[in-house]
Amino acid sequence: MTADVVTGAISTGAAHGVGAPSAWLVRWAHLIASGARVLDLACGHGRHARWLAGRGVHVTAVDRDEAALATMATLANVTTLNADLEGAPWPLAADATFDAVIVTNYLHRPLFPQIAASVAPGGVLIYETFAQGNERYGKPSNPLFLLAPGELLDVAHAAGLRVTAYEDVTLPAPRAACVQRLCATRATVPGENPGIAALYEATA
């Protein structure tokens, strides 16, 4: 979504956010196979939907901004869905699942259970958004839009997802910001490897 005040999201880069994809998504994109079905939630102008579609991924791009979605109307491998994620029921079938679910710069806590439930067996959740401490650097500063310490880990644990990587960091660029970033997978076999397997990825 593109409205800062309502969602805590920020518009990033040229052409209303159709610049480079998130480095966190790029880092874990190898977990998303060509031909996979991906949900890009609160996609804005689709910088991630466009990048993933270019890699042969089939993306369902959801946002409330009709004008932003219209910029993707002719893209191959992208299906757009106009929906108010906060003021209306979940816009997808309750049992719809995806090989990957992508959420960046967006936080609406009541959606956490549905977001996690949308990850198919063998699928991946890639989530990145602002965290407490960001108020020191600018918007979003409202606690409603800032993750508490370890909050994304709690979401993964509650959903039985296996954490591949997690960071709670202050990024220096393109502007200083406090963020949490999670990459977590759902076991192919129900009940296999439940919960948090590793809090942090080993780094070189």
Which pLDDT value is given to residue 190?
A: 61
Which pLDDT value is given to residue 191?
A: 57
Question: 201 in a domain, yes or no?
Answer: no
| Predicted TM-score of the model (pTM) | 0.85
Nearest to 50, CA basis, from 65, 31, 33, 68: 68
Question: 122 in a domain, yes or no?
Answer: yes
Which range, of 2-16, 61-75, 133-147, 183-197, averages the lowest pLDDT?
2-16
- CATH number of the domain where residue 179 is located: 3.40.50.150
In this predicted structure, the answer to whether residue 196 has a pLDDT above a threshold of 90 is: no
Write down the mean pLDDT value for the chain. 86
Question: 49 in a domain, yes or no?
Answer: yes
Token pair, residue 144, equals 């409603």
- Band (189; pLDDT cuts 50, 70, 90): low
Question: 174 in a domain, yes or no?
Answer: yes
By the 10 Å C-beta count (0-12 exposed, 13-18 middle, 19+ buried), 142 is classed as: middle
Per-residue pLDDT tens digits for 69-84: 999 999 999 999 999 9
Q: What is the mean pLDDT of residues 174-203?
A: 69
CB 75 within 8 A of CB 59: no
Provide the residue range defining the domain that includes 100.
23-186
Which pLDDT value is given to residue 5?
A: 27
Per-residue pLDDT tens digits for 10-52: 333 333 446 899 999 999 999 999 999 999 999 999 999 999 9
Q: Within 10 A of 175 (CB to CB), how many other CB atoms are there?
A: 10
Question: 14 in a domain, yes or no?
Answer: no
In this predicted structure, the answer to whether residue 193 has a pLDDT above a threshold of 80 is: no
In this predicted structure, the answer to whether residue 135 has a pLDDT above a threshold of 60 is: yes
> SS3 sequence, the chain?
CCCHHHHCCCCCCHHHHCCCCCHHHHHHHHHCCCCCEEEEECCCCCHHHHHHHCCCCEEEEEECCHHHHHCCCCCCCEEEEECCCCCCCCCCCCCCCEEEEEEECCCCHHHHHHHHHCEEEEEEEEEEEEECCHHHCCCCCCHHHCECCCHHHHHHHHHCCEEEEEEEEEECCCCCEEEEEEEEECCCCCCCCCCCCCCCCCCC
Domain count, the chain: 1
Which pLDDT value is given to residue 1?
A: 34
Which pLDDT value is given to residue 173?
A: 78
Question: 126 in a domain, yes or no?
Answer: yes
Question: 133 in a domain, yes or no?
Answer: yes
Question: 198 in a domain, yes or no?
Answer: no
In this predicted structure, the answer to whether residue 184 has a pLDDT above a threshold of 50 is: yes
Which pLDDT value is given to residue 197?
A: 37
Which pLDDT value is given to residue 45?
A: 96
Q: Within 10 A of 172 (CB to CB), how many other CB atoms are there?
A: 8
